Amino acid sequence: MTPQTLIEIIEAAHLTSFVQGPFEQRGGIILVGPPGMLKTNFIETAFQGHPAVLTLSDLNINSLMALRESLISGRYTTIAFPEFEKLYQRKSDTASNVEGTIQQLVENGFTRASFEEQDAITFKARALVVGAITHNFYSKKIGQWRESGFKRRFLWVAITLSDPNEIMHAIRRGELLNLDGIMRKFPIRPIPFAIEETESKKLEKMLMGQWQATPYVLMKKIFCVLKWKYAKEPQHAMKLMEEFSESLNNQYARVILKSHREPVTTVTAQLKKSLKSNHKKP
C-alpha cells in the first residue's frame, strides 16, 4: 500500500460528514503498528487544510463537555488522537469513562454526562474519531475493547513499513519522504449515498476480518466520498478501497515509502528553458 492511499482513505473518512444517507453513525479509524511507523505523520498529513478536524493530545470529560457545542454545531466533525494511548495514562475509572463517551460520539451520539440533569433539553454530538496506537498496547486492550463494544465501532488498520530503514536513508540523503501528493477536493454540498449492490458486496468481502455494522457503514461512506472525488475516474475509487483493504484482515499492510527530491537535471532543464524563453526576440 502506498502512503497516498492510506492518507486518501483517512481524509475521505473525515469528509463522510457530508455524505447524505440513512445512517447517522460516524465510526472511527485506529491505526495499529509498531513504534516509528509514521502513524502520526499519516494522520497529520491527511487532515492538512481541514479546519473541522480537532487534533488532541489528551481528553477528559470536562474538556469534552466544553467541546460539545462545537461538535453539535459542526464546527468540528472529526477528532484526531495521534497518541491515543495517552487517554489511558490516568486512573482506570476515568479512562473508562472517556472511552465510553468516545463510543457514544462515533455511534449513537453523545448527549450529556452522568453528572448533568438527565431530563434537560439537549442535542446529540457526533464525530469521527481517528487515533494511532502501538501493537503492544493493542494486544493488551483488545480483549477488553471486544467485551465493552469499543472494538466493533472502529476500523482497525494494521500497518508497517516495507523498509523502516528508508526513513534513515532519506535523512542521510537529505531528502523528504514523499507522503502527500493526493488530490484535494472540498465539498460545498452534500455527497449522495450512492452505492450499487455489487459495490456493497465487494466492500463486504474486504471487511471479512472486521464484519460489524459501524465499520461497514463507514466503509460505504468512505467509498461514496471517493466516488464523488473521482467522478471522472469511476474505477479509481474501488482500486483505492481494494488497496486499503490489505490492512483490515488482521494482517499488516506494508506501506511502501519513497523519498522525494527533484532531480538536478530536471531543475537545470527547466532553468535553461526559462532563460531561453526570456531571451527570445519579439
Q: What is the pLDDT of residue 171?
A: 87
pLDDT value of residue 264: 37
Residue-level pLDDT at 265: 38
Residues of the chain with pLDDT under 50: 262-282
CA atoms within 13 A on the CB side of 177: 22
* CA proximity to 68, closest of 82, 81, 54: 54
What distance in Å separates the CA atoms of residue 222 and residue 188, rounded to the nearest whole number?
A: 17
How high is the pLDDT of residue 238? 97
SS3 193: coil
What are the strands, taking DSSP E only, across the chain?
A: 19-20, 28-33, 53-55, 78-81, 128-134, 154-161, 176-177, 191-192, 253-255, 259-260
Q: Where are the domains of the chain?
A: 3-278
Residue with cell 484482515: 249
Q: Residue 140 contacts by C-beta under 8 Å, 6 or more apart in sequence?
A: none
Which CATH number does 3-278 carry? 3.40.50
Contacts with 181 (C-beta within 8 Å, 6 or more apart), sequence order: 4
Phi, psi of 207 (to 5 degrees): -100, 15
Which ranges in 47-152 belong to alpha helices (H)?
61-73, 92-106, 135-148
* 54 DSSP β-pair partners: 79
Q: Cβ atoms within 10 A of the Cβ of 97, count?
A: 16
- Predicted TM-score (pTM) of this structure: 0.87
What local confidence, expressed as pLDDT, does residue 68 receive?
86
pLDDT for the residue numbered 8: 97
Total residue length of the chain: 282
Cell numbers of 134, please?
Answer: 502501538
